[in-house]
Amino acid sequence: MKKLIWLFLLFPLFSFGQVPMEKGSQLGIRVGGGINYGSGFDLSYIKPIGSIHRIDITMPFRFDGKSTSWQVNGYYEIQGSLNDEVTLFVGPGVGFGATWHKDNLSDNYGFILNLGAVAGITYSTPKLPFDIDFSMRPTFVTVNNYDGVFNLDFTVGFLYRF
């Protein structure tokens, strides 16, 4: 399983001689969740900074029965194309945010500071005005007020191209 995850994370570095589909910025929503912070949605903005590089700014809002978190994460991504419609991406990231955790006795408020990465696949076709995106984000939370130090988020997104 570890080899499969490494292959998925490193695969976009090999572009097979194709340049990813030239497109402008993207704005959209991703829906998903993680192992420590519940499920919810992300607001995402992606800005290309070259033919295979881009900046991905996400704002995940996560909810479970007892806690809520809000974050701002930034990722520097490298893309590689499989064909004209399918693009893989991978890159490192950092983020910060806040948490609210309610238990039987009190409410706890905290600050999140994290280091992480992103890897995913994007389906993009000229027939649709948006891209369909699947991403995986492992995150090491260096400062928080509850749960573990590792989170693994999975999201499915719809990103409008402009």
Residue 127 neighbours by CB under 8 Å, 6+ apart: none
pLDDT in tens, 32-56: 988 877 899 999 999 999 889 999 9
Q: How far apart are CA 155 and CA 133, in angstroms?
A: 8
Q: What is the pLDDT of residue 17?
A: 41
CA distance 111 to 92: 21
- Checking if the pLDDT of 122 tops 60, the result is yes
Please state, in angstroms and rounded to a whole number, the distance separating the CA atoms of residues 107 and 25.
Answer: 39
Question: Helix (H, G, I), strand (E, B), or coil: what is residue 151?
Answer: strand
This prediction's pTM: 0.81
Residue 19 has a pLDDT of 43
> Which stretch of 43-57, 126-140, 147-161 has the lowest confidence by average pLDDT?
147-161
Give residue 14's pLDDT: 46
Q: Which two tokens stand for residue 130?
A: 């948006």
